[in-house]
Homo-oligomer: A and B are copies of this chain.
Amino acid sequence: MALRHYTLDFSLSAAADSASTVSSLLSIFHEQEMTETVHDTEGHGYLATFVGKNGRLVILRVHSHGLITIDLQCYEEDNIAQLDNLLNALEKKLTALLNGHITRIKRLPALVRGAKVDRYWPTADGRLMEYDIDQVLYEEDSAYQNIKILRSQQFGNMLVLNGDVNLAESDLPYTEAIMGSGKEDYAGKEVLILGGGDGGILAEAVKQKPKMITMVEISFHGFCSAKVIDGCKTHMRKTCGNVLDNLKGECYQILVEDCVPVLKKYVQEGKTFDYIINDLTAVPISTEPEEDSTWEFLRLILDLSIKVLHPSGKYFTQGNSVNLTEALSLYEEQLGKLSCPVDFSKEVVCVPSYMELWVFYTVWKK
C-alpha cells in the first residue's frame, strides 16, 4: 500500500503574516477532523502538523521569508477526489488571502512512495524523473548487480541495471549512435562488441552482413551478465530480435567471458578488428578513491582495445550525460594516455528513454 505525497507551495514577494494565514486555513483542517500540533521552530517560522483519519497527515509551514509549504500524505486507497478537494480548498483560500503577493503557486504531481512498481529513476546527472512504468517484467540479483526489466507505456520494455536506465525498446538511436550514426558500412568487416548484453547492437550489426561479429558479454568486476542476456532475450525482443537465442549465428559468436583475457589473447595472436564497440559501462562520474578501480578498468579495456584495432579501424563507445562535463573531460584525458596515440570525435544524441542528452565517442589511431 503506497503513500501518496502531495505538495502545494506558495512563493511570495514578502513574508506572510503567519497568524492570519494559519487562522484562515484552520477551518478547513477542522472540517476534516484533523488534530493539530504546533511545533516550536526557534524562530524559523510557523510549523504545524495535522493528523487525520485513514493515516492522513498535513504539514503546514509558513516560513519566515516569503514561502508557504504544505505537504499532504495519504494512503493510495484513500479517497483521492476528497484529498484533491482539500488541496483545492487550501489553494483557493491562500490565493484569495495572499492576493497580490504571490509570485508562484506550485502543486507537483503526487510522489508515490513505497509502491509495488517503482516509477522514479533519476538521470545520470541526478535529477528526479518519473517514468510511465506499470510492471516489473524481470528482476534478478547477482552478487554485484541488480537487473530489472520494466514495462514503460511509451518506451516499451526497459533494462535497468543497478538503478540506471540502460536501454529501452524505443532506444534505437542509442544503438545507431554507438555504431557510428549510419556513416559506417559493416559489410564484410571484423567486428568486436564488448558488453552489449541486451543484444541491440548485435541485432543491428548482423543485418549489415559483417564477416564476423564477436560479442564478449563479460563479467564486469565480477558482474554476471548471463542474467542480462537471459532477461533480454525474453523481454527485449524488439531490441534483440532472435540473436540472443543462440550463442552462435551465421556471422556472430557470443562469448560469455571476461573481456580482459579475451582481449589479451587477441593482442598476442595479432588479431585485429575493423570496428570495436564498447558498450560495457558509462564513463565513471567521479574520481573518488572507490571509483579508481573503475577508471583503471576502463583504461585497461581501452588500451587493449586500441591494440587490437585495425590501423584504419574505429572504436565506438558511449560517454555519459552531456551535463557531466567533468566526467567527460576525465575520459578524454584518458584517451591522451594510451600506449598508442589516438584522436577522437564526439556526438550528442537524444536517447528517448534517458530523459537527458548523451555523449558518444568515436576513437581512431593517429
Give 1 or 0 for each of A182-223: 1 = CB within 8 Å of chain B CB.
000000000000000000000000000000000000000000
Question: Contact at B154–A128, with CB atoms within 8 Å?
Answer: no
Cα-based distance from A104 to B121 in the complex (angstroms): 13
Cα-based distance from A135 to B126 in the complex (angstroms): 18
Closest 7 CB pairs of A and B: A44-B55, A67-B114, A127-B130, A128-B130, A350-B352, A109-B128, A154-B357
Closest to A352 in B: B350
13 new A-B contacts at CB < 8 Å, known A49-B59, A108-B128, A153-B323: A3-B61, A3-B69, A5-B7, A7-B113, A45-B55, A125-B132, A127-B132, A128-B128, A128-B129, A129-B130, A154-B357, A155-B357, A170-B357
18 pairs, CB–CB < 8 Å, chain A vs chain B: A3-B61, A9-B113, A11-B114, A37-B37, A39-B49, A40-B51, A42-B53, A44-B55, A47-B57, A106-B120, A108-B111, A109-B126, A111-B111, A119-B127, A127-B130, A153-B323, A170-B350, A170-B357
Give 1 or 0 for each of A118-154: 1 = CB within 8 Å of chain B CB.
1110100111111110000000000000000000011
Task: Give A58-72 interface residues, CB cut-off 8 Å to B.
Answer: 59, 61, 63, 65, 67, 69, 71
Distance to closest chain B CB from A54 (angstroms): 7
Q: Is A35 an interface residue (CB 8 A)?
A: yes
Distance to closest chain B CB from A64 (angstroms): 8
Closest to A321 in B: B154
Task: Give A86-128 interface residues, CB cut-off 8 Å to B.
Answer: 104, 106, 108-109, 111, 113-114, 118-120, 122, 125-128
In the complex, chain B residues whose CB is within 8 Å of the CB of A129: 128-130, 355
Q: Is A81 an interface residue (CB 8 A)?
A: no
Q: Is A19 an interface residue (CB 8 A)?
A: no
Given known A3-B63, A153-B323, contact A69–B114 (CB-CB < 8 A): yes
Partner of A49, one of B42, B49, B155, B355: B49
Q: Is A267 an interface residue (CB 8 A)?
A: no
Partner of A128, one of B9, B111, B153: B111
Closest to A10 in B: B114
Closest to A358 in B: B154
Q: Is A322 an interface residue (CB 8 A)?
A: yes
In the complex, chain B residues whose CB is within 8 Å of the CB of A40: 35, 51
In the complex, chain B residues whose CB is within 8 Å of the CB of A108: 111, 120, 122, 128
Question: Contact at B132–A118, with CB atoms within 8 Å?
Answer: no
Cα-based distance from A119 to B153 in the complex (angstroms): 24
